[in-house]
């Protein structure tokens, strides 16, 4: 027989072991239940997808582990401008770049292509330029003769100004700065949201007349579709202020003609590239309007919809939320039209809590918005989070935009992490990628996958986010979109397994 002391010790060890196993089992259960709540949880991976997933997750874990062990070396904790080009060299980014990304449902018309593309537009004939004396602002206008309206100093033909500079390369480098937010010291210059928005607004003030020249407008939009297709986007829902266009003959074209132009160019692009599923418009005038102007915008939207019911999707109001009229100021007007026009409303693009800015989320919900743009502040409103999920109001999340415009400095702190963990109806988009020199969608997917989502989030998350962009789109025959996506996804998976990178 065993001595009593030995039996006691053995019993203690056994009890401790049982207790520890119970703790481990509970820990495992809690983790599994939590992971089962995440976006993408319901997807079952095929054998090929499981092989591809192992490759992708090894790459992801390597990047995260390096950052975890050496936090100062974790690229994604720095400013986006510091790593946007560096990450393109990684195998994981290249895989994500080749991934079919579904649709882009939140993007603004003339802020989508790179500053190099915009700079090239300044070589077009008949372009005039005018700077303020300190070169802080620049204006453009296409005309056969000196533009008739005044500018800050005096109008010069761009070709003559460039040639007279004595250093064309430096001239272009200085001019390019007006077409990008990218700088060497962003944290020193863009100290807060307002500083970032000030530079952001200068971009579209400076480029307004450049883009609204009708031939440029048409070419820019066509090339935008080309770039999005190249980045594996299948379909686009574009927000536009519907600017008035002009030509060299003195003609000015109203918002209706602008919409007609969008539709014509879209149809041409689809003839040229039949694998692209097209684009549709959301009319999005600036929030900086009075009620009379808003009524005119609504009349315009209804007129365009009557002429092109399959092309104009709905209505939104855009601009920096903290300094524009809140949605509650326009509740009567928006409530009146919601039966005629679907609403896709910007709301909650703010760091404030309990202000008119974040309470725009409340108004977006009660107005029956089909989707909410940004919804950055939604985590502060748990009841609204429940309502969004119950009503399946999709959240259009723009991670890189929120970083550049200073809502969040480190993507690991982005509220999207919460939305992903609770299987909220989310999709990724890119807002204005050209202004911060990002690819149409690849950077947003990469930053989300590596820095925002859980380390455990895998191929299922990437696939679900792409599919969500199709499910929550307004494309009339979603089954065709999804079928085409699945074919492209299968080819993408095969390429990973065969290691084509």
419: its two tokens: 């939305």
The span from the CA of 81 to the CA of 59, in Å, is 22
Is 349 tagged catalytic? yes
Chain-centroid distance, C-alpha 85:
18
Cα–Cα distance measured from residue 190 to residue 128, given in angstroms and rounded to the nearest whole number: 30
> Catalytic: 374?
yes
Of 237, 329, 349, 359, which one is the catalytic site residue?
349
The DSSP code for 347 is E
Say how far apart CA 344 and CA 330 lie, in whole Å.
14
For the CA atoms of 89, 91, 97, 100, what is the dihedral angle to 10 degrees?
180
In whole angstroms, what is the distance from residue 39 CA to residue 369 CA?
22
Nearest to 141 by CA among 116, 158, 119: 158
Distance, CA of 452 to CA of 414 (rounded, Å): 6
Token pair for 465: 């986010």
Give the separation between CA 204 and CA 216, rounded to whole angstroms. Answer: 15
Choosing from 108, 374, 381, 443, the catalytic residue is: 374
Whole-angstrom distance, CA of residue 405 vs CA of residue 191: 10
DSSP category for residue 88: G
251/188 Cα distance (integer angstroms): 44
User: What are the residue numbers of the active site?
Assistant: 349, 374
């Amino acid at each position: 027989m065993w001595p009593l002391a030995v039996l006691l010790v053995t019993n203690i060890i056994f009890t401790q072991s049982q207790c520890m196993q119970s703790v481990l089992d509970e820990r495992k259960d809690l983790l599994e239940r939590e992971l089962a709540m995440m976006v993408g949880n319901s997807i079952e991976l095929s054998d090929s997808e499981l092989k591809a997933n192992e490759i992708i997750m090894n790459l992801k874990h390597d990047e995260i582990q390096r950052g975890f062990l050496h936090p100062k070396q974790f690229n994604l904790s720095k400013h986006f401008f510091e790593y946007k080009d560096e990450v393109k060299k990684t195998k994981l980014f290249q895989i994500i770049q080749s991934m079919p990304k579904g649709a882009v449902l939140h993007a603004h018309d003339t802020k989508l292509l790179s500053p190099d593309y915009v700079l090239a537009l300044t070589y077009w004939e008949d372009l005039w330029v005018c700077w303020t004396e300190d070169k802080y602002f620049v204006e453009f206008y296409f005309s056969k003769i000196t533009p008739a309206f005044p500018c800050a100093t005096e109008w010069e033909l761009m070709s003559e100004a460039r040639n007279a500079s004595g250093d064309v390369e430096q001239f272009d480098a200085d001019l390019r700065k007006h077409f990008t937010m990218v700088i060497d010291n962003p944290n020193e210059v863009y100290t807060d949201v307002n500083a970032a928005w000030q530079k952001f607004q200068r971009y579209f003030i400076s480029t307004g007349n450049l883009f609204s020249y009708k031939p440029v407008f048409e070419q820019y939009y066509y090339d935008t579709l080309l770039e999005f297709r190249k980045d594996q986007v299948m379909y686009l829902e574009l927000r536009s202020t519907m600017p008035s266009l002009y030509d060299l003959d003195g003609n000015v074209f109203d918002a209706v003609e602008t919409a007609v132009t969008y539709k014509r160019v879209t149809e041409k692009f689809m003839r040229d590239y039949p694998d692209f599923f097209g684009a549709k418009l959301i009319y999005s005038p600036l929030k900086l309007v009075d009620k009379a102007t808003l009524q005119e915008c609504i009349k315009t939207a209804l007129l365009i919809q009557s002429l092109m019911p399959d092309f104009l999707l709905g209505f939104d109001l855009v601009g920096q939320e903290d300094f524009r009229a809140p949605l509650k100021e326009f509740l009567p007007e928006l409530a009146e039209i919601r039966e005629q026009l679907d609403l896709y409303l910007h709301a909650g693009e703010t760091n404030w809590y309990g202000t008119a800015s974040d309470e725009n989320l409340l108004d977006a919900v009660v107005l029956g918005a089909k989707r909410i743009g940004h919804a950055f502040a939604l985590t502060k409103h748990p009841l609204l989070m429940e309502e969004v999920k119950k009503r399946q109001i999709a959240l259009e999340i723009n991670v890189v935009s929120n970083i550049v415009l200073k809502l969040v400095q480190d993507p690991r702190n982005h509220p999207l992490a919460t939305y992903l963990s609770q299987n909220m109806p989310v999709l990724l988009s890119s807002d204005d990628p050209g202004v911060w020199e990002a690819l149409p969608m690849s950077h947003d997917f990469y930053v989300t996958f590596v820095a925002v989502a859980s380390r455990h989030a895998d191929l299922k998350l990437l696939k679900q986010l792409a599919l969500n962009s199709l499910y929550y789109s307004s494309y009339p025959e979603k089954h065709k979109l999804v079928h085409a996506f699945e074919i492209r996804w299968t080819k993408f998976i095969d390429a990973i397994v065969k290691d084509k990178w």
